[in-house]
Chains A and B, each alone.
Chain A
Amino acid sequence: MSASISIPILAHPTLAAPDSRRRYFTPGMLVVTAIAAIGAAAWLFRMLFGLGAATNLTDAYPWGIWIGIDVATGVALAAGGFTTAFLAHILHRERYHPLVRPALLTAMLGYTFVALGVATDLGRFWAMWHVMLPPFWQPNSVLFEVAICVMCYLSVLYIEFLPVACERFIGRVHLPGRLAALNQPVDRALRFADKTLGRFMTIFIMLGIMLSCMHQSSLGTLMVITHGKLDALWHTPALPLLFLLSAFAVGYPMVIFESIIAHRSFGLPGERDLLAELGRFIPFTLGLYLAVKLADLALRDQLPRLLVADYDTRMLTIEVLFGVVVPILIFSSRRLRAQTRWQFLGAALVVLGVAFNRLNVFLFAYSPLERGAIYRPSVSEIAVTLGAIALTVMIYRAIALNLPVIEQLHDDHAHHAPRAHDDVHLTVLAAVPAQTIARPITPTVPAAETPALAGVKE
């Protein structure tokens, strides 16, 4: 169908010597893929043989790392999505726009895996749909609120991400084989979606922030009901507020953390100055969290306990010192926050700190009444959790390479050369190098034939 007129594109440096890091499978990615494959096998094992066979969960410990890490930590670390959207779209800080899409993608994938994590953990996963039907609803349940909000927010995230797909595919829908007949309708649908969504996007962004605030806090309320089991250092009616504030606080560090990893992984210069600017907010968000946390401990007469070193006070000290205090110091320093390595260290500490907090609340500081009961995650549980993280990375990379998410990854192609190739099949997207799918400057540039694109021609 498409004309294959060759233009001297092979002379272009990026195509003549393609940067190996922008290929999908790097050595690192092979490791990630292997972890994901092991995780998938463990997941299958759980699905076929049940929770008893796959997990070390007991009557004393009904929740393990699938809830503590995949769900509770997953939701918290996806907070970059709504906090960045708030900055860029509600407060109109336009310069942060390059950070919005990567954060949105992380949130979208993060929540997708939260949903999968929940489904994996449910004893009767096949009855999940009950949650969606009003006759089953039990509005006094905190978990009900969390479930509904997470489902709604997941949908909102996909809607928020749709314009990215529209940008990539409008005018370039080329379905393979017989599906080609659908090219026109799909294209029209995308155009319609793009136009409509563009008009309503503010609503979805606000809705997303609202839903996030609601369930981030409710996730904390979840554990308020655990009387006598969760240690008093964490068990407080202020848990919802603390969860919300720590979600606010972890949003930007998560964005910084990812941005540095992603740009390095793709061999891009990175966004150091922008991240330094974003880092200015962190002492305030983290500081507010710290103040409320300390005030809560003081009001409940728990502060004196910290003078005595035991298991729980040690856990809290590690959590607050390394996850909150040290990063506040790092990001308060103009000199330190201007350097990528300090940005990375500070952000990683906050991310780990909030993860540690969620684990404390859901696992480490939770001691059942049953004497001598212990929980050590099984090999399958660990494999599934690591696999989910690996799969998130894999999908992130595939999307980042193929859709306009990371600006530096796609902008430089647009600047360098006329983008030749429109004819990329949807089905081969994941395997096609990034160069092939950047936007054309002019839609009239004829299609070129390059070795990398064998099989693309029709």
Chain B
Amino acid sequence: MNARTSSQITPKSGSSVQAPTDTSRRGFLKAGAVLTALTVGGKALAGSGADGAAKLSEGRMGVLVDLTRCVGCRRCEWACNDANNNPHGKLEECDDQSVFATLRRPRTDQFCVVNATRNPLADPSPADPPIFTKIQCMHCEYPPCVSACLVGAMQKSPDGPVTYDASKCIGCRYCMIACPFERLTYEYDRRFTPRVRKCELCLHRTREGKLPACVEICPVEALQYGRREDLLRIAHERIAAHPDRYVDRVYGETEGGGTSWLYLSARPFEQLVDLGLPRLPDKSPAERTERIQHAIFKGAAGPLAIAAILTTLHFLTRKGGHA
């Protein structure tokens, strides 16, 4: 038989199995060495990633939404569209309350929407006014979208906003799967250059010292922009001052590991789940995934363990194996 058919992958028949014990043992040692080298290299890489929790600045910003003040005028939607070059009609068109008939979510051409607990047009009794809730990207403290993104297109700015960089994005949409609020939207209809679209906390305006557009336009001061720390203090002060008016909870203080957007409400937040304030654990979903991931890969523990098991088995079964 041809000697050259002795590829190690499939020794064909008995005669062509050369069983070069020497070479194999050397191969086995080499395998161990190479795998170790690779995993140590991997360790350096995994180590450099540190933890997903971004280094946040003490003075990071956020927005406090007082749902007891919101009247559902939807001026914030208009201002948001205007500030982000999204299509919009005249300001007065916001007075159209028919949109409250359905629950909406942010879309590629509208980064924030206001939802209502019930259609105010269907039953305009003042005895039971609907609760309006403005929703948009929550700018998580420990954002799952940032953790999910494999090319770093999603970033958590130390100052608060979660930003998206289309020039890095490859369009896998894992960020959308990861978002616990389901706030990310995608330009499926752009053929070659679809982007993820979302609220960026009006970074382009705040950089110039302006307020986020929605905050600026709000006529009833339902929205307040400021340092998250301060907003939390204000929120708790308001609850303390009017315990009859608010439920004793600030949504976003801990939800999903905390968010930059904070909500005060008269009704239990459990009733606002459908409007866009889902019930979430105190820890970011990203924390759990990263813990699993780092437990397996930090220090290359998992891969090294596999390499060790394989080399051991390869060695142990060697004697009995050959014909």
Contact = CB atoms under 8 A, between A and B. Distances in A.
Interface of A: 48-53, 55, 57-60, 62-63, 86, 89-94, 97-98, 100-101, 104, 118, 121-128, 130-131, 136-145, 147, 160, 163-164, 166-167, 170-171, 191, 194, 197-203, 206-207, 209-210, 213-214, 217-218, 221-229, 237, 240, 368-371, 407, 439
Contacts of B322: 92, 94
Contact of A214 (B31, B171, B302): B302
The interface centre, meaning the residue of B31, B169, B280 with most chain A CB atoms within 10 A of its CB, is B31
Contact of B24 (A60, A167, A202, A221): A202
A368 B276 CA distance: 12
B170 A203 contact: no
Interface stretch (B86-94, B123-131, B286-294): B286-294
Interface string B302-317: 1100110011011001
A163 B16 CA distance: 14
Interface stretch (B66-74, B172-180, B216-224, B242-250): B172-180
The interface centre, meaning the residue of A90, A118, A121, A194 with most chain B CB atoms within 10 A of its CB, is A90
B307 A210 contact: yes
Contacts of A369: 181-182, 276, 278
Given A136-B151, A206-B31, 13 more contacts: A48-B191, A50-B188, A52-B190, A57-B186, A94-B321, A123-B172, A138-B49, A160-B9, A164-B10, A194-B4, A225-B144, A370-B182, A371-B274
The interface centre, meaning the residue of A60, A128, A226 with most chain B CB atoms within 10 A of its CB, is A226
A225 B178 contact: yes
Nearest to B286: A225
Interface residues of B, number: 91
B27 A203 contact: yes
Given A147-B150, A200-B30, A210-B35, A225 B285 contact: yes
Contact of B170 (A57, A127, A164, A166): A127
B288 A237 contact: yes
A198 B152 contact: no
Nearest to B292: A221
A131 B292 contact: no
A222 B286 CA distance: 10
B170 A91 contact: no
A55 B188 CA distance: 9
Contacts of A91: 313, 317, 321
A444 to B, nearest CB: 13
A125 B144 contact: no
23 contacts: A89-B9, A94-B17, A94-B321, A121-B172, A124-B171, A127-B169, A127-B170, A139-B48, A140-B290, A140-B293, A142-B148, A160-B9, A163-B8, A166-B4, A167-B7, A200-B27, A202-B314, A206-B307, A207-B38, A210-B303, A214-B303, A214-B306, A218-B293
A86 to B, nearest CB: 8
The interface centre, meaning the residue of B168, B192, B289 with most chain A CB atoms within 10 A of its CB, is B289
B177 A62 contact: yes
B40 interface: no
A206 B173 contact: no
A194 B172 CA distance: 38
Contacts of B276: 369
Given A52-B189, A197-B7, A225-B148, A237 B292 contact: yes
Contact of A141 (B30, B150, B182): B150
Contacts of A142: 148, 289, 293
B219 to A, nearest CB: 29
B317 A100 contact: no
A94 B256 CA distance: 52
B225 interface: no
A52 B188 contact: yes
Nearest to A54: B188
B142 to A, nearest CB: 11
A100 B9 contact: yes
Contact of B193 (A124, A128, A170, A201): A124
Given A122-B172, A163-B7, A130 B151 contact: yes
Contacts of A163: 7-10
A137 B48 CA distance: 10
A55 B26 CA distance: 52
Nearest to A121: B172
Contacts of A104: 9
Contacts of A203: 27, 30-31, 34-35
Contacts of A89: 8-9, 314
Nearest to A190: B4
